[in-house]
Amino acid sequence: QSALTQPRSVSGSPGQSVTISCTGTSSDVGGYNYVSWYQQHPGKAPKVMIYDVTKRPSGVPDRFSGSKSGNTASLTISGLQAEDEADYYCCSYAGSSYVFGTGTKVTVL
Amino acid sequence: EVQLVESGGGLVQPGGSLRLSCAASGFTFSDHLMDWVRQAPGKGLEWVGRIKNKANSYTTEYAASVKGRFTISRDDSKNSLYLQMNSLKTEDTAVYYCARAYNWNYDVWGKGTTVTVSS
């Protein structure tokens, strides 16, 4: 199972919006509505930000949103804030296994 | 407080073995499916495997990269998850996280334990 493809990095100024793509195949992203997104600050454990493509856990700011079209899922951060600077990973169920994305570093300029 | 705490990491030679543990607290451990996820230095997250709960016959699933070498087990009476790693390779060097699976995502993570495979 190959890793899902994410851009290596994205950046934006405070208040702007950024979108991270996550491209897989019909065997993972395209085949199930079970894509989740994780935020990871340096030296810390990942934290779920979005699950089931579009759902946001309680406590996650509503500036984080998710979507999916075909084999590509996306995470959008609206109203970028300094604390959003981190690595982000998508993850998809792939039928008896899971596959993570390659990771995207979000930089707040 | 819901918590997962990994232990057992360390330095091991190629071909060696190591057993990781994950102690759970603050929730009904026996109800949940539990996974191991690893992260090599400077790299991304990689799913290692899963053990389901009693209701799902404690079924295990593994990534192709570790199948046949790693074994996941659990002891619900001790609220503990384990990862037995045999025939270790240098590419198994990573931080190993245990994570609680909830509806096809991971809602609770431990802080990780570091495994270094080197001669």
Where residue A19 falls among pLDDT bands split at 50, 70, 90? very high
| CA nearest to A53, candidates A77, A38, A37 | A37
**pLDDT (0 to 100) of residue B103:** 82
Q: What is the largest CA-CA distance in chain B?
A: 42
A58-102 tens-digit pLDDT: 999 999 999 999 999 999 999 999 999 999 999 999 998 999 999
| B106·A38 Cβ contact <8 A | yes
For position A14, what pLDDT does the model report? 97
Query: What is the pLDDT confidence band of residue A50, given thresholds at 50, 70 and 90?
Result: very high
Residue of chain B whose Cα is closest to the Cα of A32: B104
Q: Is the distance from CB of A39 to CB of A26 less than 8 angstroms?
A: no
Identify the closest residue of chain A to B62 by CA–CA distance. Answer: A97
Looking at chain A from residue 1 to 60, which residues have their Cβ under 8 Å from any Cβ of chain B? Answer: 1, 3, 32, 34, 36, 38, 40, 44-48, 51-52, 57
Residues 6+ apart with CB under 8 A from B50: A98, B33, B34, B35, B36, B60, B61, B72, B101
User: Which among A96, A47, A48, A52 has a CA at the least distance from the CA of A73?
Assistant: A52
Residue B9 binned pLDDT confidence (cut-offs 50, 70, 90): very high
Write a three-state SS string for chain A: CCCEECCCEEEECCCCCEEEEEECCCCCHHHCCCEEEEEECCCCCCEEEEECCCECCCCCCCCEEEEEECCEEEEEECCCCHHHCEEEEEEEECCCCEEEECCEEEEEC
Examine the pLDDT at A1 and tell me if it is beyond 90: no
What confidence score (pLDDT) does residue B104 get? 86
Measured between beta carbons, which residues in chain A are less than 8 angstroms from residue B111?
Answer: 44-45
CA B107, B113, B114, B115 dihedral sign is negative
Nearest to B35 by CA among B83, B67, B75: B83
The closest CB to that of B111, out of A45, A51, A102, belongs to A45
- Tell me how crowded residue B8 is: count the other CB atoms within 10 A of its CB: 15
Q: Which of A32, A93, A100 lies nearest to residue B45, judging by beta carbons? A: A100
Tens of pLDDT, residue by residue over B27-67, are 999 999 999 999 999 999 999 999 999 999 999 999 999 99
**A101 vs B: CB within 8 A:** yes
For residue B54, the SS3 value is helix
In which residue are the tokens 């998508």 written? A90
What tens digit of pLDDT does each residue of B55-102 get?
A: 999 999 999 999 999 999 999 999 999 999 999 999 999 999 999 999
